[in-house]
Amino acid sequence: MSQWQYRPHRGGGMRSFFHRQGKFRPRSSAEATSDSPIPEDLWVKCPKCGELLYSKELDHNARVCPKCGNHFRLGARDRIAILTDEDTFVEWDTGLRPEDPLEFVDPKGSYSDKLAATQAKTGETESLITGIAMIEGRPVVITVTDFDFMGASMGSVWGEKLARAVERATADGLPVLSVNASGGARMHEGLFSLMQMAKTVAAFGRLGDARLPHFSLLVDPCYGGVTASYATVADVILAEPGALIGFAGQRVIEQVTKQKLPDGFQTAEFLLDHGMIDLIVERALLRSTLAILIDHHIEIPPESNPSDNGLVPKRTLVEPEPEVRSRHGAGSREGQLP
């Protein structure tokens, strides 16, 4: 029934989604080029339709295949760049660092060594980035996972960063947008990892008590503890087309059940059909959709003056046109009815 998914009209032509905000240079996603002999900085083969795409053009299209609409994975910084207004993102809590309370050792070595190597490779300190930004002029607390950082596994720093961000949103009366990809728990942090599910749900519970909205955007792939905690108890749950979303991983399910998985199992479209998400939104329409959603869910007290405080959201996305205002009157507006 994906024909019923939300597809608002596109306004105007395509725009460049990457604002080139200094350090937020788009990086190619590793998964898209892994089995391609072509240098990744020039050409990318679409894994869905097989089309060879010029990498810069793909970037220009927010890494959505212009031929088949396949949504390539996006790095966390790229994600922030396409979702938020240029130069508005302010990152929070960049000094938080993981520890190794279990003194975890696996055949490849210690957790500490793995962390150091990952940090060096990615340039990030952890798998969650938090901060505040504007989306079409509306201030939003935003949390974005980084799948390149240990498969966006949820550990203590994730939990702490997220709780701090959500608590600030609660205190300041701001909506929260969480962008969620994850491979699940971070095994190396043992039960500390599992308990971050409790910590994050609790923080969002308090946001909800304050009647502030949480918009959760599920992107490919989103599994395990994140799917089983705050990402699926949001007020509005959005997903990108084709994103794989589930609790148990597909390989585990196949091994345990010895059954063939149904077609489209765990895709965003599958979840929509099964009632688990509110809407699927193409990447190009995410900003405008989020802007409308924010307007519907954040109320400005009548006495406040939006112009006084840059942090107060605007009430309406688009100023109502005169003919819209009078649509109950003379009936001059052309509707969709015959």
Partner 1 sequence: MPASRLANDATAGTHQAPLRAIDRVRIARDPQRPGTLDYLAELFTNFIELHGDRAFGDDQALIGGVATFNERSVLVLGHQGGANTRENLARNFGMPRPEGFRKSRRLMRHAEKFGLPIVTFIDTSGADPGISSEERGQGTAIAESLLEMVGVRVPIVCVVIGEGGSGGALAISLGDRLLMLENAVYAVASPEACAAILWKDASFAAEAADTMRVTAADLQRFGIIDELILEEVAAHEAPRETVAAVGKRIAFHLDELLNIWDASDPASVDALLDARYARFRNIGAWHEVS
Choose one: 24-32, 59-67, 132-140, 241-249; the region binding partner 1 (CB under 8 A).
241-249
Distances (CA, A) of 335 to 170, 272, 326, 327, 328: 40, 29, 13, 10, 12
243 binds partner 1 (CB under 8 A): no
- Smallest distance, Å, CB 292 to partner 1? 5
203 binds, among partner 1, Zn ion, none (CB under 5 to 8 A by kind): partner 1
Of 58, 82, 169, 228, the residue at the interface with partner 1 (CB under 8 A) is 228
Residues 194-213 that bind partner 1 (CB under 8 A): 194-199, 201-206, 208-209, 211, 213
Tell me if 90 sits within 8 A of 131, measured CB to CB. yes
Peptide bond connecting 221 to the previous residue in cis, omega within 30 degrees of 0: yes
Q: Which residues partner with 180 through β-bridges? A: 218
∠ CA 279-281-284, nearest 5°, is: 165
Residue whose token pair is 């938020």: 84
Of 34, 95, 303, 307, the residue at the interface with partner 1 (CB under 8 A) is 95
Tell me if 200 sits within 8 A of 163, measured CB to CB. yes
CA atoms of 53 and 64, how far apart (whole Å) = 10
- Smallest distance, Å, CB 314 to partner 1? 13
- Smallest distance, Å, CB 57 to partner 1? 30
Closest CA to 144 of 132, 130, 162: 130
- Residue 84: DSSP 8-state: S
- In sequence order, the 6+-apart residues with CB closer than 8 A to the CB of 35 are none
Q: Which token pair is 282?
A: 């193409």
46 binds Zn ion (CB under 5 A): yes
Tell me if 68 sits within 8 A of 49, measured CB to CB. yes
Question: CB neighbours (10 Å) of residue 211?
Answer: 11
Of 70, 127, 182, 229, the residue at the interface with Zn ion (CB under 5 A) is 70
Residues 24-63 that bind partner 1 (CB under 8 A): none
187 binds, among Zn ion, partner 1, none (CB under 5 to 8 A by kind): partner 1
- Smallest distance, Å, CB 90 to partner 1? 17
Choose one: 44-52, 80-88, 194-202, 284-292; the region binding Zn ion (CB under 5 A).
44-52
67 binds Zn ion (CB under 5 A): yes
170 binds, among partner 1, Zn ion, none (CB under 5 to 8 A by kind): none
- Smallest distance, Å, CB 4 to partner 1? 6
294 binds partner 1 (CB under 8 A): no
Dihedral sign for Cα atoms in the order 195, 201, 203, 209: negative
284 binds partner 1 (CB under 8 A): no
132 binds, among Zn ion, partner 1, none (CB under 5 to 8 A by kind): none
- Residue 314: DSSP 8-state: P
278 binds partner 1 (CB under 8 A): yes
Question: CB neighbours (10 Å) of residue 120?
Answer: 8
165 binds, among partner 1, Zn ion, none (CB under 5 to 8 A by kind): none
65 binds, among partner 1, Zn ion, none (CB under 5 to 8 A by kind): Zn ion
Identify the helix (H) or strand (E) that includes residue 171. helix 156-172
105 binds partner 1 (CB under 8 A): yes
Q: Which residues bind Zn ion (CB under 5 A)?
A: 46, 48-49, 51, 65, 67-68, 70
